[in-house]
């Protein structure tokens, strides 16, 4: 299973212009990804899968995430470093500019935390829910460890059960090249995938009242930077070579 996720986010070309038709936006994204992703996988054998998403339900607090998202599953350190390196810094790498324009909103790599398996999106569910958070800056190592124990269980299983997801996986920030709004990407990412039921859950925030388990100090004082629900628009999977 691929240990890294690389998230590349961008917004529509003219956010100040008239609102785009949602169906047209999804179609445009699918065309863009089908035009660019096969070549990306061809050039980088360490990329196992590339999946495109469109923001379906934004964070209730406002503009916290990109409207278009590309999720790359990366198998090794060398491939990840190549993807993150630009020959014309501070400009983004050429492949990222091809899929996200000259000024990507997100270019962030995450590694899968110990104890978790699989990769976000590998079950091809239509929806991906991303939650980014930080622990308090003054949390000591023991408090951070308690935060992780609580996040692993019971919290992730509760989210899956209460909000109707199929699975959740936890990641930690590896390297952030671009993240807007800043100052940096959250330290921790939880990625949940599921089917149409998760949209109905997102439309009924009162279901969050089902989270009744109190957490340790670092959990209760965490900062949740964003909660973003994305809908899949297309993707490319690397097929195993025939013998």
For residue range 98-127, list pLDDT tens digits in order: 989 888 999 999 999 999 998 887 888 999
Q: For 47-76, write each residue's pLDDT tens digit.
A: 999 999 999 999 999 999 999 999 999 999
- In this prediction, residues 7-24 reach a mean pLDDT of 74
Residue 93 scores a pLDDT above 70: yes
pLDDT at residue 231, rounded to an integer: 93
- Give the per-residue pLDDT at 171: 97
Q: CB burial class (10 A; 0-12, 13-18, 19+) of residue 185?
A: buried
Residue in the structure block whose two tokens are 């239509």 = 126
Place of tokens 């100052």: 183
**pTM for this prediction:** 0.91
Q: Is the peptide bond before 181 cis (omega within 30 degrees of 0)?
A: yes
Choose among 127, 119, 144: nearest CA to 56.
127
Tell me what pLDDT residue 243 has: 44
> May I ask the CATH architecture of the domain 4-237?
2-Layer Sandwich (3.30)
pLDDT-based confidence at residue 198 (cuts at 50, 70, 90) = confident
- On average, the pLDDT of the chain sits at 88
Domain ranges of the chain: 4-237
């Amino acid at each position: 299973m691929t240990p890294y996720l690389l998230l590349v986010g961008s917004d529509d070309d003219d956010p100040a212009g008239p609102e785009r038709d949602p169906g047209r936006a999804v179609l445009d994204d699918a065309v863009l990804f089908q035009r660019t992703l096969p070549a990306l996988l061809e050039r980088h054998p360490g990329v196992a899968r590339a999946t495109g998403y469109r923001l379906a339900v934004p964070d209730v607090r406002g503009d916290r995430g990109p409207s278009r998202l590309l999720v790359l599953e990366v198998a090794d350190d060398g491939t990840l470093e190549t993807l993150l390196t630009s020959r014309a810094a501070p400009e983004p790498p050429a492949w990222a500019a091809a899929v996200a324009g000259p000024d990507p909103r997100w270019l962030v790599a995450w590694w899968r935390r110990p104890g978790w398996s699989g990769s976000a999106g590998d079950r091809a569910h239509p929806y991906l829910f991303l939650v980014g958070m930080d622990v308090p800056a003054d949390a000591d190592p023991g408090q951070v460890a308690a935060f992780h124990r609580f996040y692993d269980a019971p919290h992730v299983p509760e989210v899956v059960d209460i909000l109707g997801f199929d699975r959740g996986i936890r990641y930690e920030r590896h390297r952030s090249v671009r993240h807007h709004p800043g100052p940096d990407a959250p330290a921790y990412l939880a990625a949940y995938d599921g089917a149409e039921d998760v949209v109905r859950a997102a439309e009924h925030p009162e279901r969050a009242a089902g989270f009744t388990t109190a957490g340790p100090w670092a959990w209760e004082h965490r900062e949740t930077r964003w909660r973003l629900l994305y809908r899949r628009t297309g993707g490319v999977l690397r097929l195993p070579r025939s013998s």
